[in-house]
Structure 1
Amino acid sequence: MFFRALIDILFPPLCHICKTFIPDAGDIHLCAGCREKLIPLNSPLCLVCGVPFATENGIDHLCGPCLSHPPAYAAARAALVFSGPVQDLVHRFKYGHKVHLCRPLGLLTAGHLAGFAAHVAADLVIPVPLHKKRLRWRGYNQAVLLGGILAKQWRLPLLRHNLRRVRWTEPQVNLAATERAENVRGAFAVTDKDAVAGKRVILVDDVYTTGSTVAECAKTLKCAGAEAVFVVTAARVA
Structure 2
Amino acid sequence: MRGFFITFEGGEGAGKSTQIRRLQEHLQQQGHRVVVTREPGGSPGAEAVRHVLLSGAAEPFGPEMEAVLFAAARLDHVQQVIRPALEEGAVVLCDRFIDSTRAYQGTTKGLSKSFLAALERAAVGDTMPDLTVILDIDPEIGLQRASARRGEGSVDRFEKDTLAVHQKRRKAFLDIAKAEPERCVVIDASRSADAVAAYVLEAVQKAMQKRWHLAEEGGKGPGPRKHRKQKRHADV
Aligning the two structures, in what range does the TM-score lie when normalised by the shorter sequence? 0.3 to 0.5
Task: Between the two structures, name the one with larger relative contact order (CA 8 Å, sep ≥ 6).
Answer: 2
| Structure with a larger share of its residues in helix | 2
Task: Provide the TM-score with structure 1 as the length reference.
Answer: 0.33
TM-score under structure 2 length normalisation: 0.34
